[in-house]
Amino acid sequence: MLKKVFFTEKRTEPISYEEFSAIGMSKAGYISYIAHCDRLRSALVLHYYADCGIVSSEIKKRKESIKDICQICLDELLRVLQCFCDDNINLADLAREQISVDSLLYNMSYNGSMEVFLGKDAESPALLYVGFDCFRIYIEEILYKLVNHIFPIFSFDVDPDIEDMDLNILKIKAEQKKDYEDHDSEPQFPTKSGKTSDIFEWAEKAERYYNHQCFIQEFEGIEETIARKEALVFDVHKHTLYIFNDNLSCRLKDHPLEPTKATIELPEIFAHMAELDILYCHECKKFFIRETSYELYRKKYVFLPVCFVYDSENKTSSNFKNRAERSPLWFCGYTVSKDIGLNSEERQQLLSWIIDHNIRGLQKENIINHLEMLIDTNGNKPGNEHAKRKWMEDLEFVHRYRIDDQPKAHIQHIHQQNRNKK
């Protein structure tokens, strides 16, 4: 009967209640099936966390008992489905021959499926239930193979491409590899501490090491990959983004260049997040962005709280040479230009964000000095009446911004000094 439900093609959605009810499953039976899937997944994920070492030491000690719980959950799941199988199919017997908790755990972790079931941040237990549908599809595909006698159910000839793996996943794999490799030569008895437990501890580590030789070999060199990928992560608080025109000097020098992406958090009023396609030079250890790309991103996002600098070794357009003298505020996107059209709320959100996040090292005093300079030098020029009004508004806003957080001074007397007095 279950053959009518478990289709041969790879499913993109878990089996629905309507499909199960077509073979006579009640609503209570379906709820029981979902609950057992949920428990099995939770137990497998908890074991995975214990194996990765990202849970409490108490849970890590109970790893083997957690594995027993996984087996019980799997048995209960099969028991729910058994009554819908043909008479010649005994799911429990087939499972004992073809499925083990170790194979489930190994396959889920080794081929990257576990990260799908956990979500993007595999280290967060809060995301335990992200991807439950993905897990059901995974389990139901295994059950389909079990019911239809398609063996072997698991393939261990997986060649993971660590270059394509997410950096957070790589770090988890590296910790696993380090843990598996942690073993010493066999201690001689009596040991230095004189405890028999030293022998057992060594044996446990040695067994773990030899049982995971395949894993260790497949992830050989993972540390170098992590270091290279970490170098590609653009940190807006630490890194500078160099603007170049057409002839990037690093390319002319045959330096190793690699495309990467800068992800920049923005205030909600703008776009939440900006993503910039940039280049990283492994030789110079610098990030670069093309002039035309910079122009496009500036128009798209308006506010770009990044330390942009013109690359002195590259020829840039005359337009960019003129802009090289622009202020850090201008580079971040602050402007009173009618062409850009930022309203008061947008300009002041931008300024408060710069202050709060210490963008480009700009503090409240720096911004006040710059706005006063703009008012003094450009405010009285013909045609700048609207610009001066906006600068005055923003200056007043910055003066008031977070003023209650500033140290307070008690002034008793104000004395005016005569500047002409010698």
Spatial distance between the Cα atoms of 63 and 47, rounded to a whole number of angstroms: 6
List, in sequence order, every beta strand (DSSP E) within 247-384.
257-265, 273-281, 286-290, 307-310
- Terminal Cα-to-Cα distance of the chain (whole angstroms): 106
Rounded average pLDDT per 10-residue block, the chain, 422 residues: 56 84 88 90 79 64 79 88 77 78 69 48 42 79 78 56 79 84 70 69 71 75 90 88 85 91 83 87 93 87 83 59 64 81 86 84 87 88 89 92 77 67 50
Spatial distance between the Cα atoms of 271 and 265, rounded to a whole number of angstroms: 9
Spatial distance between the Cα atoms of 347 and 351, rounded to a whole number of angstroms: 6
User: Taken in order 18, 22, 23, 25, is the CA torsion positive or negative?
Assistant: positive
> Beta-carbon neighbour count of residue 177 at 10 Å?
19
Spatial distance between the Cα atoms of 100 and 404, rounded to a whole number of angstroms: 63
Whole-number pLDDT of residue 279: 94
Spatial distance between the Cα atoms of 96 and 107, rounded to a whole number of angstroms: 17
Spatial distance between the Cα atoms of 272 and 185, rounded to a whole number of angstroms: 54
Give Cα separations from 337 to 25, 331, 388 (angstroms): 68, 14, 11
